[in-house]
Amino acid sequence: MICNYIKLKNYRNIEEAEVFFENGVNVLIGDNAQGKTNLLEGIYTFALGKSFRGAKEADVIKFGENESLSMIGFTTNSRSDIQTLKIRLRKGSRRQIEMNGVRLERLSEMIGSFRAVLFCPEHLSLIKEGPSMRRNYLDVAISQFRPVYLRSLQRYHAILEQRNKLIKNAEDDRVTLDATIGLWSEQLAHEAAVIANFRSKYVKKVGEEVAKYFEKMTGMSEKVEMQYIGSSKQTEEEYGDIKAIENRYLQLLTENIDREIGASSTLWGIHKDDIEILINGKSARMFGSQGQQRSLALAMKLAEGDICFSETGDRPVLLLDDVLSELDEKRRKFLLSNVRDRQVIITTCEKTDFGEAKRINVEGGKYSV
Ligand SMILES: Nc1ncnc2c1ncn2[C@@H]1O[C@H](COP(=O)(O)OP(=O)(O)O)[C@@H](O)[C@H]1O
Ligand SMILES: [Mg+2]
């Protein structure tokens, strides 16, 4: 997968820009607040379907403007002609998305066509943060190569919202709850089962890759394991069987409704999942050193790219936002020596030597080579 170019208009601090990238390493160099991350944000939006900075859609429109345009051209292993994706945002009206000139109804329809892996400093806390960051890791990673996963996830969250509303209103309206909760629980259990099944398979695969990277990086033979921890607390074998997961969730959601009313929310489901990461059988989150936690996070990001490659036959574009300055010399070298065979777009404030990289200078929302 190669991002050949990006064109931006009235996007963040960028009035107008057209930036071309090469196959190997591309480095965006500039001082703080010049527009390095803004450009990566623009690119990654085409992979993620939204801003990775959690911005509201209109936030990316340049201050004082009403409309922004972004467009990328990219090539894949299986198709060498340049494909395009385009997003037009306008204040007060619906965004427009085009893929190869054809309008798409939903942003999520384009996900999986242009694939990228983002690694930014926040990801270095993947291990020590709470579970929601790890769930997000799984959701982003799996959605890149399994659009059905993303659709399940979207349905799941819509159903969860409805079910939570019923539960919150239970004191005032127990009748409606008793009449309808069963249906919501069934639908929720079904989507939860599909998602848990994907997540459990993914954790198994990615865990094996992470263990290998960790060993190479540290030169030690500590045993790293990753385990999927679903809130239905089933075994790995059971998570291989969608019907078994669905039945268990339905049972939990049916038998514990009074507890859920007490807590004012749905207490079981994939919104409570986590990944347990163990070093020699001990929780890396609780007992790992900061260095070990960072090495694991780095390994998880590299492995995310590898699994995407093995699932699609194409290496996703690697976007490294300011992460090199956060890593020590050893880990920085390790990262760079493991990403030679793909396109990488790096942002940095430092004038480090990147060898044969394409250098792009960034100043005030302008990009020059
Ligand atoms: N919607 C917007 N319109 C104009 N400027 C913006 C907008 N959003 C952010 N910025 C500006 O972009 C700059 C930050 O750019 P960024 O790409 O994050 O910098 P860096 O080069 O350090 O990565 C800040 O000066 C900020 O004010
Ligand atoms: Mg930045």
pLDDT on residue 3: 98
Residue to mutate (ligand 1; options 29, 38, 59, 122; most atoms within 8 A of CB): 38
Rounded distance from Cα 116 to ligand 1 centre (Å): 22
Q: Is 32 in the pocket of ligand 1 (CB under 6 A)?
A: yes
The pLDDT value given to residue 352 = 76
Which strands form 358-363's sheet, in the order they lie side by side?
A: 116-119, 317-321, 344-348, 25-29, 358-363, 366-368
Ligand 1 and 36: CB distance under 6 A: yes
Task: Spell out which residues have Cβ within 5 A of ligand 2, the ion.
Answer: 36-37
> Could you tell me if the CB of 58 is within 6 A of ligand 1?
no
Report the alpha-carbon distance of residue 18 to residue 11 in Å, rounded: 12
Residue with tokens 């969608």: 242
Domain ranges of the chain: 1-115+315-369, 121-313
**Separation CA 180–CA 163 (nearest Å):** 9
Instruction: State whether the beta carbon of 295 lies less than 6 angstroms from ligand 1.
Output: no
Task: Extract the residue ranges of the chain whose pLDDT is less than 70.
Answer: none
pLDDT digits 0-9 by tens, 101-139: 999 998 888 999 999 999 999 999 999 999 999 999 999
How many A from CA of 82 to the centre of ligand 1?
29
- pLDDT score, position 368: 97
- Asked if residues 259 and 278 have their Cβ atoms less than 8 Å apart, the reply is no
pLDDT in tens, 25-38: 999 999 999 999 99
User: If one looks up domain 121-313 in CATH, what number appears?
Assistant: 1.20.1050.90
Pocket test for ligand 1, best of 8, 11, 12, 15 (most atoms within 8 A of CB): 12
Q: 1-115+315-369 — its CATH code?
A: 3.40.50.300
